[in-house]
């Protein structure tokens, strides 16, 4: 099967060769299924998400906190039919939604599983933002919430840290596409049922890049769109290879970004405390408890 599902356009037969994402064949590799209570409050609600953490990733950020699965590829393989059964099990587990974490490279397989069984719960597409707009359109009848990361403005930085010089333009177009697909957010009892949230992780020594991203979000989508500003950077994995990343975010850097967005007048958003930069919020992918629900 030739794979061009994401902006990488690898154009290779994944039954024989791995793409940059690490995917091989038509199987879906999953690292953990759990009740996840650490997303934005409007996503986690009181009952948490039914989170499915997919292995591998099409972006490959050098500092990824989930590097054990995104880079190293740990997990178990499932078929589309088996994924549909997981949806059913999560639906029965008293969670707010089904949260598909890093799903992009499995878009075709997830779509097949959702056609087999679409749960009566919101489906969250929790993505790095490096998504193909045409692929997102195919998901429009099945995905209810798009939870985008918006990582970089500067193309040199996105090339250096994530091997994607076109990240900014691709991510921006993906968010525009999602906004056309879901023009209005729907909130019930403080929990999102349909809509879009744009996340941004402020990186050390890059607060000016963060400010440019929020300027662009404001210019494109106005001050009503939901945003989430994160301070949780910890120098995981290969961040130590880069002097500017081999450190935690300085409180002053985060404060400058937060002050800027407050001046811009965003109405709907979430902020993290600076002490969120801790490993305790990262799932343990090394333990034997694969299903934590």
What are the residue ranges of helices labelled H in the chain?
A: 41-44, 67-70, 80-91, 107-116, 133-138, 155-162, 167-181, 207-221, 251-264
Closest by Cα among 136, 140, 114 to 127: 136
Task: Taking residues 45-59, report their average pLDDT.
Answer: 97
Q: What is the pLDDT of residue 1?
A: 85
Contact predicate 60/162, CB 8 Å: yes
Q: What is the pLDDT of residue 128?
A: 98
Please, which residues bridge with residue 162 across strands? none
pLDDT at 190 > cutoff 90: yes
- Nearest-angstrom CA–CA distance, 259 and 155: 25
Closest by Cα among 55, 37, 149 to 97: 37
Q: What is the pLDDT of residue 144?
A: 98
Task: Taking residues 25-30, report their average pLDDT.
Answer: 92
Instruction: Count CB atoms within 10 A of the CB of residue 288.
Output: 4
- Could you read off the pLDDT of 68-89 as tens digits, one per residue? 999 999 899 999 999 999 999 9
Closest by Cα among 233, 144, 154, 148 to 185: 144
| Structure tokens that stand for 269 in this block | 């958003």
- Could you read off the pLDDT of 98-132 as tens digits, one per residue? 999 999 999 999 999 999 999 999 999 999 999 99
Collect all residues with Cβ–Cβ distance below 8 Å to 10 and sequence separation of at least 6: 3, 4, 19, 20, 21
- Nearest-angstrom CA–CA distance, 288 and 276: 26
- Nearest-angstrom CA–CA distance, 33 and 292: 6
- Could you read off the pLDDT of 203-222 as tens digits, one per residue? 999 999 999 999 999 999 99
Burial of 265 (0-12, 13-18, 19+ CB in 10 A): exposed
Collect all residues with Cβ–Cβ distance below 8 Å to 67 and sequence separation of at least 6: 236, 237, 238
pLDDT at 291 > cutoff 90: no
| Structure tokens that stand for 162 in this block | 């994530």
Q: What is the mean pLDDT of the chain?
A: 95
pLDDT at 275 > cutoff 80: no
Task: Taking residues 262-275, report their average pLDDT.
Answer: 93
Please, which residues bridge with residue 194 across strands? 186
CA torsion sign for 264, 268, 274, 276 is negative
Contact predicate 155/166, CB 8 Å: yes
Collect all residues with Cβ–Cβ distance below 8 Å to 30 and sequence separation of at least 6: 52, 53, 54, 55, 75, 76, 78, 83, 86
- Nearest-angstrom CA–CA distance, 6 and 132: 5
The superfamily in CATH containing domain 28-292 is Aldolase class I (3.20.20.70)
- Nearest-angstrom CA–CA distance, 228 and 232: 12
Q: What is the dihedral of CA 82, 119, 199, 56, to 10 degrees?
A: 10
The C-alpha angle with vertex 53 and arms to 24 and 85, in degrees rounded to 5, equals 85
Collect all residues with Cβ–Cβ distance below 8 Å to 243 and sequence separation of at least 6: none
Domain layout of the chain by residue ranges: 28-292
Confidence of residue 17 (pLDDT cuts 50, 70, 90): confident
Confidence of residue 278 (pLDDT cuts 50, 70, 90): low
Q: What is the pLDDT of residue 282?
A: 74
- Nearest-angstrom CA–CA distance, 37 and 17: 36
Task: Taking residues 37-63, report their average pLDDT.
Answer: 96
């Amino acid at each position: 099967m030739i794979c061009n599902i994401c902006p990488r356009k690898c154009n290779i037969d994944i039954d024989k060769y791995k793409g940059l994402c690490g995917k091989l064949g038509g199987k879906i590799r999953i690292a953990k299924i759990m009740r996840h209570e650490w997303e934005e409050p409007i996503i986690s609600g009181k009952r948490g998400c039914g989170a499915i953490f997919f292995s591998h990733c099409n972006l490959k950020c050098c500092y990824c906190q989930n590097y054990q699965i995104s880079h190293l590829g740990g997990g178990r393989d499932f078929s589309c039919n088996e994924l549909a059964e997981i949806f059913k099990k999560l639906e029965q587990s008293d969670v707010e939604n089904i949260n598909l974490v890093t799903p992009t490279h499995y878009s075709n397989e997830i779509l097949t599983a959702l056609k087999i069984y679409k749960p009566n719960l919101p489906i969250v597409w929790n993505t790095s933002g490096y998504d193909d707009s045409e692929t997102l359109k195919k998901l429009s009848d099945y995905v209810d919430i798009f939870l985008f990361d918006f990582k970089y403005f500067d193309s040199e930085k996105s090339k250096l840290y994530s091997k994607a010089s076109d990240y900014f333009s691709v991510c921006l177009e993906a968010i525009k596409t999602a906004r056309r697909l879901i023009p209005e957010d729907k909130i019930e009892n403080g929990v999102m049922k349909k809509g879009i949230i744009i996340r941004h992780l402020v990186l050390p020594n890059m607060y000016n890049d963060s400010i440019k991203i929020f300027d662009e979000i404001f210019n494109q989508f106005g001050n009503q769109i939901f945003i989430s500003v994160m301070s949780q950077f910890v120098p995981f994995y290969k961040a130590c290879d880069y002097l500017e990343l081999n450190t935690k975010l300085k409180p002053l850097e985060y404060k400058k970004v937060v002050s800027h967005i407050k001046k811009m007048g965003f109405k709907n958003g979430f902020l993290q405390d600076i002490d969120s930069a801790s490993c305790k919020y990262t799932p343990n992918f090394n333990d034997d408890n694969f299903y934590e629900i």
